[in-house]
């Protein structure tokens, strides 16, 4: 019987495993980088061990340090979570060699399936050789052989883009997984991403625990998932289950795992097998009424799976809440998460707490929100409503995108595919902030500023405040009167520091207001209070190229120096942020006036990277 589990991971998944361990009466041990010293997973564990450094390569990818930590803390088992070393056969062997229990599949099974190229050959498929790709075979997908989460992946639509795609994918894969091997496969434009959850014991039993649809993806990383996958024929479901069980038996698999497919034209195309717990496992838990982490632990203890697999009940949908800006190329965001709260009736899996700092080193996922209901329509509506009314105060997030996605007709009618965001991103990210939010923010800020309420017997000019909202500046005017605060066009029913009530054309509306320095949240609308008099020094030269996110400069375009000719859209600088690389293109066609960064340099959002002087056409 396992008594103490070390989770070789961080954030949400570490907290998730700790929760089950606590239910089972198992002690827990966390590991943490210096950047995660005060992270939630390090705080909630029974014990925590420091991994010196901040970068994943120095910390969560150091299997030797993690094994030493487990032994030092008295752990007798290691759970890998997902990502990092979860699909590293060498790490699994090191855990077992140290006399610890590995809560995962055998190392040889990981080895057989961890490389997507080997997995395809095992299933009777063969990946393409990059040298064999022709114009007729486009588009293709360049894909990392190790790891997942969308890292090390590039879509190639033109043959001359293939060399750069291979180079970029190799660099990103090496950074994220310590393995730069990539391969090429045909890219299916409008398929659905469907996967099968499996669970196997050491006594020959393999369960196929239903399907999940994970078609809504950005940069090949899942955003919204659901179980069961809607609209599949009984025959296709049987085929998917049979293929998943076949893959598991082919490598003598034990524990929890997932077999992924692309479904197009009623056919299933094998993608890969993930030899670990998936991020989206909660939707399967919800419909089956089981705890997959508890099942992993029982299998690791040698216990058999009992009876038949549980039957699915109802439908579950999960949304991943990220600190990122979908309207700006999904740029990751940093800063303080002041508050995260969702209504009752949904499940919240998170590795963050109010007041935590979202940094630059790791994945920007804040939480997973899961709704379960008797029908798909009810589950989707419940999740959309919960996200819409949740308090998410801090960095820019994808919350509005999630709500709009869940309410989009293509999703509600289950006609989505992996190209959903390619088609609909502009409409899903179009500004739609509440027009009365700036007024509510100003009235809340004005509350109590004067001992006598600010009213004067002599008429005076209205008070003016300015806010940035959805990328635009808004000016608000209000007055102090004998009856209290007033504004044109509405009746102010109540104006408090945290609650403003307005009567708009006979309809009473409530606005909950929270302020953190210059950042103001009015309901689900995020605003920035602007200074009364703009700073003239803040003006930037035309053609200025600013860092859209915090990160590290990993590459500068060859030959980029002052006076170099550049064209609009040409990649000039590559930033690595949260384990993914982002290209920073030239804003205009012209010549480089100045380059302010170098390879290896850390940058912050808004930092000036370069200036491009626009080419003036002769007349």
- So which residues are the catalytic ones? 276
Q: Quick one: which of 104, 90, 103 has its CA closest to 28?
A: 103
Q: At what angle do helices 292-300 and 11-24 cross, to 10 degrees?
A: 70
Q: Quick one: which of 467, 446, 473 has its CA closest to 519?
A: 467
Q: CA 533 to CA 550: how far, in whole Å?
A: 28
Give the CA-trace dihedral at 118, 123, 129, 135, to 10 degrees. -150
Close Cβ partners of 453 (under 8 Å, ≥ 6 residues apart): 480, 484
Map residue 585 onto helix, strand or coil: strand
Q: Quick one: which of 285, 282, 345 has its CA closest to 313?
A: 285
- DSSP annotation string for 212-244: EEEEEEETTEEEEEEESPTT--HHHHHHHHHHH
CB atoms within 10 A of CB 96: 14
Cα-based distances in Å from 479 to 277, 279, 442, 488, 503: 57, 51, 11, 9, 16
**Is residue 333 packed enough to be buried (19+ CB in 10 Å), middle (13-18) or exposed (0-12)?**
buried
Q: Which two tokens stand for residue 591?
A: 């010549």
Map residue 441 onto helix, strand or coil: helix
Q: Which two tokens stand for residue 616?
A: 């003036």
> In what helix (H) or strand (E) does residue 400 lie, and over which residues does it extend?
helix 399-407
Q: Residue 165 in contact with residue 184, Cβ under 8 Å?
A: no
User: Measured over all CA atoms, what is the biggest interatomic distance in the chain, rounded to whole angstroms?
Assistant: 88
Q: CA 606 to CA 608: how far, in whole Å?
A: 6
Q: CA 148 to CA 146: how far, in whole Å?
A: 7
Q: CA 248 to CA 244: how far, in whole Å?
A: 6
Q: Which two tokens stand for residue 95?
A: 């855990």
**Is residue 536 packed enough to be buried (19+ CB in 10 Å), middle (13-18) or exposed (0-12)?**
exposed
Q: CA 608 to CA 135: how far, in whole Å?
A: 39
Cα-based distances in Å from 12 to 290, 306, 390, 486: 19, 29, 18, 45
How many residues comprise the chain? 619
CB atoms within 10 A of CB 189: 11
Phi, psi of 61 (to 5 degrees): -100, 5
């Amino acid at each position: 019987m396992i008594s103490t589990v070390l989770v070789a991971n961080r954030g949400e998944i570490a907290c998730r495993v700790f929760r089950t361990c606590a239910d089972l009466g198992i002690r827990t041990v966390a590991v943490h980088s210096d950047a995660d010293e005060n992270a939630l997973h390090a705080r909630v564990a029974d014990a925590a061990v420091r991994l010196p450094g901040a970068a994943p390569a120095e910390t969560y990818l150091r299997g030797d340090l993690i094994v030493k930590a487990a032994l030092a803390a008295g752990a007798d088992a290691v759970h890998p979570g997902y990502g990092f070393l979860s699909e590293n056969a060498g790490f699994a062997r090191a855990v077992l060699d140290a006399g610890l229990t590995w809560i995962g599949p055998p190392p040889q099974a990981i080895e057989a399936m961890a490389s997507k190229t080997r997995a395809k050959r095992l299933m009777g498929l063969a990946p393409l050789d990059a040298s064999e790709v022709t114009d007729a075979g486009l588009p293709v997908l360049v894909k990392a052989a190790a790891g997942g989460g969308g890292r090390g992946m590039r879509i190639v639509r033109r043959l001359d883009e293939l060399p750069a795609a291979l180079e970029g994918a190799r660099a990103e894969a090496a950074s994220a997984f310590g393995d730069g091997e990539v391969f090429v496969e045909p890219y299916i434009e409008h398929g659905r991403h469907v996967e099968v959850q499996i669970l196997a014991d050491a006594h020959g039993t393999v369960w196929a625990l239903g399907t999940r649809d994970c078609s809504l993806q950005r940069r090949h990383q899942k955003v919204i998932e659901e179980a069961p996958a809607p609209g599949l024929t009984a025959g296709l479901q049987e085929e998917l289950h049979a293929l998943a069980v076949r893959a598991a038996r082919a490598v003598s698999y034990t524990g929890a795992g997932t077999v992924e497919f692309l479904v197009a034209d009623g056919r299933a195309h094998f993608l890969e097998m993930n030899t670990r717990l998936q991020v989206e496992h909660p939707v399967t838990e919800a419909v089956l009424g089981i705890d997959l982490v508890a099942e992993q632990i029982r299998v690791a203890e040698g216990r058999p799976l009992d009876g038949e697999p549980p039957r699915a009940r109802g439908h579950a949908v999960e949304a991943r809440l990220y600190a990122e800006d979908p309207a700006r190329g999904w740029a990751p965001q940093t800063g303080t998460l002041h508050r995260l709260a969702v209504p009752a009736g949904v499940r919240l899996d998170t590795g963050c707490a109010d007041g935590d700092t979202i940094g630059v080193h790791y994945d920007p996922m804040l939480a997973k929100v899961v709704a379960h209901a008797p029908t798909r329509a009810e589950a989707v509506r419940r999740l959309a409503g919960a996200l819409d009314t949740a308090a998410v105060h801090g960095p820019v997030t994808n919350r509005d995108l999630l709500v709009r996605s869940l309410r989009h007709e293509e999703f509600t009618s289950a006609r989505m595919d992996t190209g959903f965001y390619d088609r609909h991103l502009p409409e899903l990210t179009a500004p739609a902030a509440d027009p009365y939010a700036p007024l509510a923010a100003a009235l809340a800020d004005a509350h109590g500023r004067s001992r006598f309420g600010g009213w004067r017997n002599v008429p005076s000019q209205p008070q003016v405040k300015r806010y940035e909202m959805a990328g635009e500046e808004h000016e608000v005017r209000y007055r102090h009167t004998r009856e209290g605060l007033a504004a044109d066009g509405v009746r102010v029913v109540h104006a408090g520091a945290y609650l403003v009530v307005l009567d708009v054309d006979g309809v009473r509306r409530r606005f909950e207001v929270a302020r953190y320095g210059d950042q103001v949240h009015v309901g689900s609308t995020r605003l920035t209070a602007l200074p009364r008099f703009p700073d003239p020094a803040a003006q930037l030269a035309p053609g200025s190229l600013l860092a859209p996110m915090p990160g590290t400069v990993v590459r500068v375009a060859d030959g980029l120096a002052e006076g170099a000719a550049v064209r609009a859209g040409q990649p000039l600088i590559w930033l690595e942020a949260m384990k993914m690389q982002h290209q920073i293109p030239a804003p205009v066609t012209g010549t480089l006036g100045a380059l302010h960064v170098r390879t290896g340099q850390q940058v912050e959002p808004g930092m000036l990277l370069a200036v491009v002087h626009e080419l003036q056409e002769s007349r």
